[in-house]
Amino acid sequence: MGNPLRALILDLVLERAMTVTELAERVRKPRGSVAHHVDVLVHAGLLKVTATRRVRAIDERFYGRTAHTIIFPDSASDGDLPFVADARAEADLSDPHCAGGFTFRHARIPAGLADEFAQRLMALATEFTRLPRSGSTEFAFLAGVFPTKRPVAPQKSP
């Protein structure tokens, strides 16, 4: 996944399987370059051929994801949390009338409860990605529950 184009290809085939030609048109890159990245994703087990069709004596392959949700290990070399640098780079906050919002909160809670929140967030993220595609703006969903390095105040004694 060392190339951002691969992540984009995986996102594009989330909606429906696509051919290399369709992907190349969508990402505005040469077909050969896109084919290379698709081959890498197939070899890594992240994409598979889901259908073929014959077009002028050539079999065209449609590629789809092998899983709806793919979890990548944290490879952030800049010390950022996973995907935060990507989210910052993609965020378009120029339109004040466009829906969206951010929040950053802290709570001192037991680890089991934090795990419950994390599971609910993953379920919400999955629901978000399964919504029918419509509209002219793509939105992103970034959320996390994680332990911090912040010092905490001592607990009140009974």
Q: Would you kindly state where each structural domain of the chain is located, as residue ranges?
A: 4-65, 75-148
16-72 pLDDT, tens digit per residue, is 899 999 999 988 899 999 999 999 999 988 899 999 888 888 888 999 888 766 655
pTM of the predicted model over 0.85: no
Q: Which of 24 and 143 is assigned the larger pLDDT? A: 24
**DSSP single-letter state for residue 121:** H
Q: Residue 90: which H helix or E strand, with range?
A: helix 84-90
Q: Are 6 and 12 in contact (CB under 8 A)?
A: no
Assigned fold of 4-65:
Arc Repressor Mutant, subunit A (1.10.10)
pLDDT of residue 20: 94
99-113 pLDDT, tens digit per residue, is 777 777 778 889 999
Q: Which residue type sits at 134?
A: S
Q: Are 13 and 65 in contact (CB under 8 A)?
A: yes
Torsion of CA 44, 23, 48, 142, to 10 degrees: 60
pLDDT of residue 80: 60
Radius of gyration of the chain from Cα atoms?
Answer: 20
Long-range CB contact pairs, 29-32, < 8 A, 24+: 29/5
Q: Are 99 and 138 in contact (CB under 8 A)?
A: no
